[in-house]
Amino acid sequence: MKPLYTQHTTIPEQYIVDSFERFLIEDQAHRDLSTEHSIDSERTACAHIVAEESLIFSGSLILNTILKEYDVELFVQDGDPCNEGDLIAKIAAPATVLLSYERILLNLIQRLSGVSFLTAQYVQKLNSSQIKILDTRKTTPGIRLFEKYAVCVGGGYNHRLDLYHGIMLKDNHLALINDLEQVLDDIKKQHPTKRIQIEIDYFDQLKQNLKPHFQIDAILLDNMNRQKTIKCVDYITKHWPQCFIESSGGINLNNLHNYIDTGIHAISIGALTHQAVSKNIKLEFK
């Protein structure tokens, strides 16, 4: 089944530029006293970016955008695996630029390569053409689009980008809603193109709260084991045959296999972004 939402398989150039400007301000790169007082502003340097451990590279868009005025030679592309010692890129640019940009460039590329690496682990472990590995909104504030892109680079898929991108009525919503049918009707009238997803915690909640005539695009089965998942999937496919079914909560690399052949279409994994470990990548002058 097709993904519910837009897939962020690239990052707009202006978004990268604007974000990097914010990062430079945060790091006060324009007031880099160490570099200002030690390096000739006219001096050009050649730097190598090198992997220091196994990773899935995610950063070519960043390097080509931020350093597009200079000479950047990439030896790998986004999505390519790298091992310790692999040369990722050569850069020829003013030494002052490389020194002032170094930490921000590496921080971002290391972070995204870590997200892509962990995502690839989940995709390879699941090894299913029928079930998609999805990210969540459990992202690092300020770099969500970067991390969503890194998930795609690692072979995963994107869930909704933000709260406006789609409607998800979770357990706390359901606890406060008096008339779910009226709410769903109002949403469809005011936002006819928005996808509607309902989170379900147990089978009786599914049966009692959702009526077959409700217009629902997706159902999320939260914290359910294999048996409970199959029971809910059977009920959902009977009443909403076109419904996108997603599992989430408590699913990790160790129990991922339990959800194969359950009939679900996707597994959302918050760990792809909130537990990913940045990969060691260095920049060294030659």
d(CA 247, CA 269): 9
How many other CB atoms are found less than 10 A from the CB of residue 204? 9
Are residue 257 and residue 160 in the same domain, yes or no? yes
Q: Is residue 1 part of a domain?
A: no
Query: Do 128 and 262 belong together in one domain?
Result: yes
CA atoms within 13 A on the CB side of 200: 28
pLDDT category at 286 given cuts 50, 70, 90 is: confident
Whether 2 maps to a domain, the answer reads no
User: Is there a single domain that holds both residue 221 and residue 146?
Assistant: yes
61 plus 174 within the same structural domain? no
Q: Is the pLDDT of residue 35 over 90?
A: no
Average pLDDT over residues 7-33: 95
**Co-location of 165 and 224 in the same domain:** yes
pLDDT digits (tens, 9 = 90+) for 157-212: 999 999 999 999 998 999 899 999 999 999 999 999 999 999 999 999 999 889 99
Q: What is the average pLDDT across 256-285?
A: 97
Q: Which residues contact 30 (CB under 8 A, 6 or more apart)?
A: 24, 100
Kindly state the percentage of the chain with pLDDT values over 70. 100
Average pLDDT over residues 95-114: 97
DSSP reduced 3-state for 133: strand
pLDDT averaged over the chain? 96
**Same domain, yes or no: 172 and 251:** yes
Domain check: are 150 and 261 in the same one? Answer: yes
Q: Is residue 8 part of a domain?
A: no
Regarding whether 128 and 114 lie in a shared domain, the answer is no
Any domain includes 32: yes
Q: Are residues 94 and 188 in the same domain?
A: no
Per DSSP, 157 falls in state B
Same domain, residue pair 38 and 147: no
Domain that holds residue 174: 124-274
Task: Give 72-92 pLDDT, tens digit per residue.
Answer: 999 999 999 999 999 999 999
